């Protein structure tokens, strides 16, 4: 698709500069969006992509520069100002009220009123169902958001923006939890919106997606615009080099696996969700030393409960698990309130040689108000060399943090910077630095590269493969099929809590995507 340069400008950002203390997030950035355009925004973690779009959505105020919407200068003091001007944003970290229903979240702030002034739930539900059907984004209007999986919450965010008739739609990593078929469906939605005159900003780390969907691609590096190009004039390798300032190996080098003894054995595992229903139902598999077992599946099919149970964060309702360094543990299939046998504590599992990279870094992986240094010793703060005779050794903690920040390219003013002040990608790097830097026998990695830029993804992939080649067993849960096919030696597909197939890593994305959507191998 070629967009006429004469199409009306919907959004103009000129000379946008934004500082956070000593960090220059945006440095005199120019960015424009035209009606009917999909404009991809790519760059490293901390390059300033989300900051720029937060300014365009009224979440941040620029220190310098101007904004215009529809050719008219504007000052956005609050997201409400942006919404009134027809700008919607779907954030990488969702802006939803957990205790509200899907319907309540979608209509929040724009509630339709009946004759007596009360919320017209019938009209709101009818419009939401129509939008969900039109854009193939099925949701239960009456479900509580806190009970939804991450992928379902993302659907709610997209529908919330569409409900407000946005003329400018900003999407921050919108495909992170979708199957290939769902990505194709989303792209169809975006093309339809663009054909109707909507301008779309598509923030992504997936260069192939930017090349497939965008009319223009702008590359940010350390707060600066380094290029704006059309897909026909570039490729993934050139974009990656522009992003990081050097050539990047887009595909990891993987030696043939040399599996050793079984490290993690799972037999008939059953795990219940918060409602007492079976989220994992009779799952069996083994992970050997020196191999990567990938788990594929659409978010919400039991991956979260599976990994949390294996990390000791959920009890076993049935089945048997053998962790490294521990005796086998069996669960008993009893009601949720009946005291099903609990697994070892997370501390005991970790002491046996297990590392855990959680799906939700902010909720489960970090203490956002703590510094980078303190987050990097969360699992060892009370042991030498970080503590002696009951006292923390701040110099040792700081030195440890500086070493890991350099090794994992965590970008921040200092190790004392609160984790809450970091970009999402740099927060993920802190989790990975803590979990992958020690001597481990088993890695439970749930979406380990979500939100990371292409250079950081390559570094994490090589680190995981180095651990595998050194004899570590790795259970890798990812919704990114390219990642699974690049790293895994075998891929097991999880659907509605059951493993429906285990395939070689050479399986096609289409084959895996069909299994993830519930098609049986025979079908």
Q: How far apart are CA 361 and CA 37, in angstroms?
A: 33
Q: How far apart are CA 189 and CA 166, in angstroms?
A: 14
Q: How far apart are CA 106 and CA 95, in angstroms?
A: 11
Q: How far apart are CA 447 and CA 425, in angstroms?
A: 12
Q: Identify the helix (H) or strand (E) that includes residue 281.
A: strand 278-288
* β-strands 498-504, 490-495 pairing: antiparallel
Map 363-413 to HEC letters: HHHCCCCCEHHHHCCCCCCCCCCCEECCEECHHHHHHHHHHHHHHCCCCCC
Q: How far apart are CA 292 and CA 506, in angstroms?
A: 14
Q: Provide the β-strand partners of residue 88.
A: 169
CA 453, 459, 460, 464: dihedral to nearest 10 degrees? 160
Burial of 412 (0-12, 13-18, 19+ CB in 10 A): buried
Model pLDDT, residue 491: 95
Model pLDDT, residue 121: 87
Mind giving me the DSSP string for 416-466?
Answer: TSBGGGS-HHHHHHHHHHHHHSS--SEEEEESTTTT--HHHHHHHHHHHHH
Q: How far apart are CA 523 and CA 520, in angstroms?
A: 5
Q: Determine contact, residues 265/447, Cβ cutoff 8 Å.
A: no
Residue 80 to residues 27, 58, 69, 431, Cα–Cα distance (Å): 26, 8, 14, 34
Model pLDDT, residue 509: 84
Q: Identify the helix (H) or strand (E) that includes residue 66.
A: strand 64-69
Q: Which two tokens stand for residue 384?
A: 């030498």
First CA to last CA distance, the chain: 35
Residue carrying structure tokens 């009134």: 84
Burial readout 38-75 (b: 16 or more C-beta within 10 A, e: otherwise): bbbbbbbbbbbbbbbbbbbbbbbebeebebebeeeebe
Q: Provide the β-strand partners of residue 473.
A: 442
Q: Which two tokens stand for residue 32?
A: 């424009």
- Which residues lie closer than 8 Å to 370 by C-beta, 6 or more apart? 378, 418, 419
Q: How far apart are CA 14 and CA 173, in angstroms?
A: 24
Q: In 3D, which of 522, 427, 456, 488 has the Cα closest to residue 249?
A: 456
Q: Which two tokens stand for residue 326?
A: 């521990």
- Which residues lie closer than 8 Å to 409 by C-beta, 6 or more apart? 429, 455, 456, 459
Helix and strand totals (H; E) in the chain:
16, 22
Q: Determine contact, residues 459/449, Cβ cutoff 8 Å.
A: no
Other C-beta atoms lying within 10 Å of the C-beta of residue 228: 14
Q: Which two tokens stand for residue 317?
A: 């309702």
Domains within the chain, CATH numbers bracketed: 1-86+166-248 (3.40.50.300), 98-163 (no CATH), 259-353+439-523 (3.40.50.300), 364-438 (no CATH)
Q: Which two tokens stand for residue 28?
A: 């005199």
Q: Identify the helix (H) or strand (E) that includes residue 83.
A: helix 79-84
Residue 409 to residues 15, 119, 152, 459, 463, Cα–Cα distance (Å): 28, 49, 31, 9, 13
**What does the longest C-alpha to C-alpha distance in the chain come to?**
71
> How many angstroms from the chain centroid is the CA of residue 287?
25
Model pLDDT, residue 32: 96
Burial of 290 (0-12, 13-18, 19+ CB in 10 A): buried
Mean pLDDT by 10 residues, the chain (523 residues): 70 95 90 96 87 94 95 93 91 83 90 79 91 82 84 82 88 76 79 88 90 96 94 92 82 86 94 88 94 89 92 90 80 44 78 89 89 89 78 87 91 90 84 87 91 80 91 92 91 92 89 81 54
Q: How far apart are CA 249 and CA 33, in angstroms?
A: 31
Q: In 3D, which of 441, 450, 432 has the Cα closest to residue 359?
A: 450
């Amino acid at each position: 698709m070629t967009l006429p340069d004469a199409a009306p400008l919907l959004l103009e950002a000129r000379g946008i500069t934004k500082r956070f203390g000593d960090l220059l997030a945006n440095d005199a950035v120019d960015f424009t969006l035209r009606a009917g355009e999909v404009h991809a925004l790519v760059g490293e973690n901390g390059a300033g992509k989300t900051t720029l779009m937060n300014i365009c959505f009224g979440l941040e105020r620029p220190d310098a520069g101007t904004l215009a919407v529809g050719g008219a200068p504007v000052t956005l003091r609050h997201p409400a100002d942006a919404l009134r001007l027809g700008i919607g944003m779907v954030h990488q970290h969702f802006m939803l009220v957990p205790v509200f229903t899907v319907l309540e979240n979608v209509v929040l702030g724009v509630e339709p009123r009946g004759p007596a002034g009360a919320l017209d739930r019938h009209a709101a539900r009818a419009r939401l169902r129509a939008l969900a059907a039109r854009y193939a984004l099925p949701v239960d209007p009456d479900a509580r958001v806190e009970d939804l999986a991450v992928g379902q919450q993302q659907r709610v965010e997209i529908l919330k923006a569409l409900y407000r008739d946005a003329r400018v739609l900003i999407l921050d990593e919108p495909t992170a939890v979708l199957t290939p078929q769902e990505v194709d469906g989303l792209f169809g939605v975006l093309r339809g919106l663009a054909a109707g005159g909507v301008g779309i900003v598509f923030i992504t780390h997936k260069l192939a997606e930017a090349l497939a969907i965008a009319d223009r691609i702008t590359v940010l590096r350390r707060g600066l615009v380094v290029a704006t190009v059309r897909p026909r004039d570039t490729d993934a390798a050139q974009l990656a080099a522009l992003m990081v300032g050097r050539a990047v190996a887009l595909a990891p080098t993987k030696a043939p696996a040399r599996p050793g003894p079984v490290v993690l054995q799972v037999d008939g595992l059953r795990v219940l969700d918060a409602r007492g229903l079976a989220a994992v139902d009779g799952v069996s598999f083994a992970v050997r030393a020196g191999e990567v077992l990938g788990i594929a599946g659409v978010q919400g099919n039991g991956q979260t409960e599976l990994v949390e149970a294996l990390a000791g964060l959920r009890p076993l309702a049935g089945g048997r698990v053998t962790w490294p360094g521990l005796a086998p543990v069996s669960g008993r299939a009893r009601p949720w309130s009946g005291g099903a046998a609990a697994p070892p504590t997370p501390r005991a599992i970790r002491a046996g040689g297990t590392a855990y990279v959680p799906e939700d870094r902010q909720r489960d992986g970090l203490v956002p108000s703590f510094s980078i240094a303190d987050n990097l010793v969360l699992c060892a703060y009370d042991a030498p060399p970080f503590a002696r005779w009951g006292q923390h050794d701040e110099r040792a903690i700081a030195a440890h943090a500086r070493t890991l920040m350099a090794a994992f390219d965590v970008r921040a003013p200092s190790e004392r910077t609160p984790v809450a002040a970091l970009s999402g990608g740099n927060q993920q790097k802190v989790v990975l630095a803590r979990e992958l830097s020690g001597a481990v026998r088993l890695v439970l990695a749930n979406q380990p590269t979500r939100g990371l830029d292409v250079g950081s993804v390559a570094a994490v992939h090589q680190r995981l493969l180095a651990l595998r080649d050194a004899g570590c067993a790795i259970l890798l849960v990812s919704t990114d099929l390219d990642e699974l096919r690049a790293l895994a030696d075998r891929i097991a597909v999880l659907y509605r809590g059951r493993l429906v197939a285990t395939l070689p890593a050479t399986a096609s994305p289409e084959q895996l995507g069909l299994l993830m959507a519930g098609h049986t191998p025979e079908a």
